Amino acid sequence: MPKINVENIDDSKKIQILKKAVEKEGLSYTAKKLGIDRSTLNRYINGKIQRIPNDIIEKAAELLTIEELSDIIYGFRIVEIDPTTALSVIIKAVRDEGFRNFFISLIWQYLGDYLKSASNTYIVTKDDIELFEKFVRENRAKKTADEHIQNIRRILADLNYELIPERIKEYMLDLQSENLNRARHYATTLKLFIKEIIKPKNSKVAKELYDSFKLPKRKFIYKPPPLSLDTLKKIFNNINDLGARALFLLLIETGLRVGEVLGLKVDQIDLEHRIIKIMKESETKRAYISFLHQSTARWVKEQYLPYREEFVRKYEDSIRKLAAANPEQGINIEEWKLKLFPFREDILRAEIKEAMKKVLGKEFRLYDLRSFFASYMIKQGASPMIVNLLQGRVPPQQFRILQDHYFVISDIELQQYYEKYAPKILE
């Protein structure tokens, strides 16, 4: 919710804020949220009480959107704009120094957190991979070069070809907890890739990526922060962006890796049977199938998917133009249209972090939701083996041995365990 400095607002605008809150939420609900009775609120609105406490206005402002507040405070309305209009504003900012200073100050005021998070992201292109392969073949022995090439392909596939410091931390933490030797090899390859390929193109981003992880020297025992289901529900309810809210919901209720959820396509979600078909296997991980609670499947169908479809429809033409103007980035429009989350990961993370700080006053890693899922299930009475199967923690070879010789369980039985023990955000 928007935060405003009420001391700079005159009395008439304070009354307008109260009136708008009542108009939007109703007299009883607004009075309850403000911690006053209905008659006192009426006297504020009618001007019978001249001095309105600042904390009352601050609480009322939290019931309004930033658009509603700007209409009251600044006297202008925010209207729908298309990408062409946005581009024309940027061009004017480039050409007009006075407007540029004004525009940049507004951008930092309202979108500063987003800009900071977006500034440390690097999208890996096909040319980057080819350049790295050429580099290692020319500068490393054949066996070492082959290993680096194999490693970087797996790393980038796991990270969806988008390098973000926080995601790399989570990825290395997860890998290190499962296979220390592989984590060390992957870290060596990724640092080499960042140094030789990314640094010449963007030294600032390269430094943030390079410093975000270290070469593992021993198995790291990470202790996640204690999280409760009630706390996570509060965070969920405080996420304003619907895409970020959907991501947070699936991470809590499936316990899957962030990259696995972000890498899902729409056709991998069977809402009728409430199944998520991950079907992902690597040398260290097996993420085969997960599930949705009935309330979650309904929410995804009725609220999230229409929002997602509208987003794709609205921005498809802009993405096509972007792809045509930047062929070196290898943007695949059809793949983008199929993604369950066709949004920028850094923006989704920023929205979730904002809600975390609002509820807790601090942040925690999205990776910690994976630990929460496991501990919650076990506390509810689920077998650790069931938890490992649902989270894809059992390596493929070990899973086949279990499946063939010791442990036989159907997908229907696994879903029953899920419904009985898995955390549920929506009622």
Q: What percent of the chain has pLDDT over 70?
A: 81
CA–CA distances in Å: residue 135 to residues 163, 198, 237, 338: 20, 13, 48, 34
Angle, CA of 392, 396 and 402, to the nearest 5°: 90
Higher pLDDT pick, 99 / 235: 235
pLDDT for res 294 = 96
Which residue, 330, 406, 392, is CA-closest to 175? 392
Cβ atoms of residues 38 and 28 within 8 Å? yes
Structure tokens, 386: 């069931």
Strands 286-291 and 275-281, by their bridges, are antiparallel
Ramachandran class of 367: left when φ > 0, alpha when ψ lies in -120 to 50, beta otherwise: alpha
Q: Which overall architecture, per CATH, does domain 6-73 show?
A: Orthogonal Bundle (1.10)
Q: What is the tally of helices (H) and strands (E) in the chain?
A: 23, 5
Cβ atoms of residues 49 and 43 within 8 Å? yes
Read off the pLDDT of residues 70-98 as tens digits, 9 standing for 90 and up. 777 766 555 566 666 777 777 777 777 76
DSSP codes of every residue in 358-372: HHHSS---TTHHHHH
Domain 229-421 indexed as CATH 3.40.50.150: no
For residue 356, pLDDT beyond 80: yes
pTM over 0.85? The answer is: no
Q: Which overall architecture, per CATH, does domain 122-211 show?
A: Orthogonal Bundle (1.10)
What's the whole-number mean pLDDT along residues 178-186?
88
pLDDT for res 136 = 96
For residue 405, pLDDT beyond 50: no
What SS3 string covers 117-154? HHCCCEECCHHHHHHHHHHHHHHCCHHHHHHHHHHHHH
For residue 220, pLDDT beyond 70: no
Q: Which sequence spans correspond to the domains of the chain?
A: 6-73, 83-118, 122-211, 229-421
The residue to which tokens 């965070």 are assigned: 235
Read off the pLDDT of residues 48-75 as tens digits, 9 standing for 90 and up. 887 888 889 888 888 887 767 777 776 6
pLDDT for res 58 = 86
CA–CA distances in Å: residue 275 to residues 279, 339, 371: 12, 17, 21
CA 422, CA 293: separation in Å to the nearest integer?
Answer: 9
